[in-house]
A = this chain, B = another copy of it.
Amino acid sequence: MRDIFLRACKGEKTTPVPVWFMRQAGRYLPQYQKIRGKADFLTMCKTPELAAEVTLQPVDILGVDAAILFSDILIPLEAMGAGLSFVEGKGPVINPPLRSLADLKGLRPIEPEEDVPFVLKTIKILRRELSGRVPLIGFAGAPFTMATYLIEGGTTKSFVNVKRMLFSSPSLFRSVLDIITKVTISYLSAQIKAGVQAVQLFDTWAGVLTRHDFRDAALIYSKRIFDALKKMGVPMIYFVYDGGHLLDLIRLSGADVIGLDWRTDILAALKSLGNDVVVQGNLDPCLMFLEDERLRERIARIIEQGLSAKAHIFNLGHGVLPEVPPERVRLAIDMVHELSS
């Protein structure tokens, strides 16, 4: 197996640097669109053959060094009893949103084998199909981010509902985060048992918190997950989007790898993280619109900065955008391999 991703996760400087891209399985690929034309997004997530097929597409088409399970962070919320749908052009909707203790009582812990069997089946198919090629990454949403969707009822600009609960009903907020944390531990444990070889915890929204509130409302729950999973022995990645102001705290999470968005240079990030850390990132996905030579310069700079870390996994600072031509994505992957060889 091409194992540079796993070796880098464990702190080894590899040649070349491993590369995978968030949302590498996605709408920018015509091969994905073809399947998406036949099934809606949630059906794709819940049909192991389809989910496995789109997971494999970027491995075949792009030559990435890791596959990441095709799924959605909100899948376990639905299994807990939340009303989940995806509205075209609007994104995920949770209806009704969680606003009270009574709403919380409508949520239950999950048994992954019974409640999300399709995820575990997808993983098993993928391990078989991937054998001898690249490792498989599993993932979940971090508790604060999951709570944000649950409490806001979808995406938000102001985060007023989730923060209002945090600030004016702290005990209810803690109960919500507690149950999500418990579910996430059981969900990721099941993914690992089913065969994923690394896990990433996505904290898409915790970057909207002050340092003080990140500690209380996000970090302690994410840390609880990493602490619980550590004994299972797979590398764990923590990605807090827009978390540049939180990096020294993120370092305390217990994760093996710290994901960085594009805002914070790797060198600036290492000032907060220390150099003895494995980092993952951090090309702005929009930079793939640059002409070749400029793109090469930007990728080279990131690879050079990554040398100052203990090890570096190349990635984007966020997901691949649907608007980017697939040949640009392939070119970027090739450049990473070439420039770090």
Interface residues of chain A, those whose CB is within 8 Å of chain B, are 155, 157-160, 163-164, 166-168, 207-213, 242, 244-245, 262-265, 268, 284-287, 289-291, 294, 298, 321, 323
Are B167 and A263 in touch, CB under 8 angstroms?
Answer: no
Are B290 and A168 in touch, CB under 8 angstroms?
Answer: yes
Residues of B contacting A212 in the complex (Cβ-Cβ under 8 angstroms): 298
Residues of B contacting A167 in the complex (Cβ-Cβ under 8 angstroms): 286-287, 289-290, 294
- Ordered nearest first, which 9 A-B pairs have the shortest CB separation? A163-B286, A167-B289, A168-B289, A167-B290, A164-B289, A245-B263, A244-B245, A160-B323, A245-B264
Are B291 and A210 in touch, CB under 8 angstroms?
Answer: no
Residues of B contacting A168 in the complex (Cβ-Cβ under 8 angstroms): 289-291
Are B323 and A164 in touch, CB under 8 angstroms?
Answer: yes
Residues of B contacting A245 in the complex (Cβ-Cβ under 8 angstroms): 244, 263-265, 268
Residues of B contacting A265 in the complex (Cβ-Cβ under 8 angstroms): 210-211, 245
Residues of B contacting A294 in the complex (Cβ-Cβ under 8 angstroms): 167
Residues of B contacting A213 in the complex (Cβ-Cβ under 8 angstroms): 284
Nearest B residue to A91 via CB reads B157
A234 to B37, CA, bound (A): 58
Known: A158-B321, A163-B286, A245-B263. 20 other contacts (CB 8 A): A155-B157, A158-B285, A158-B286, A158-B323, A160-B286, A163-B287, A164-B289, A164-B323, A167-B286, A167-B289, A167-B290, A167-B294, A168-B289, A168-B291, A207-B263, A210-B265, A244-B244, A245-B264, A245-B265, A245-B268
Nearest B residue to A242 via CB reads B242
A133 to B208, CA, bound (A): 36
A252 to B333, CA, bound (A): 36
Are B164 and A284 in touch, CB under 8 angstroms?
Answer: no
Nearest B residue to A165 via CB reads B289
Most buried by B among A157, A163, A268, A286: A286
A323 to B290, CA, bound (A): 42
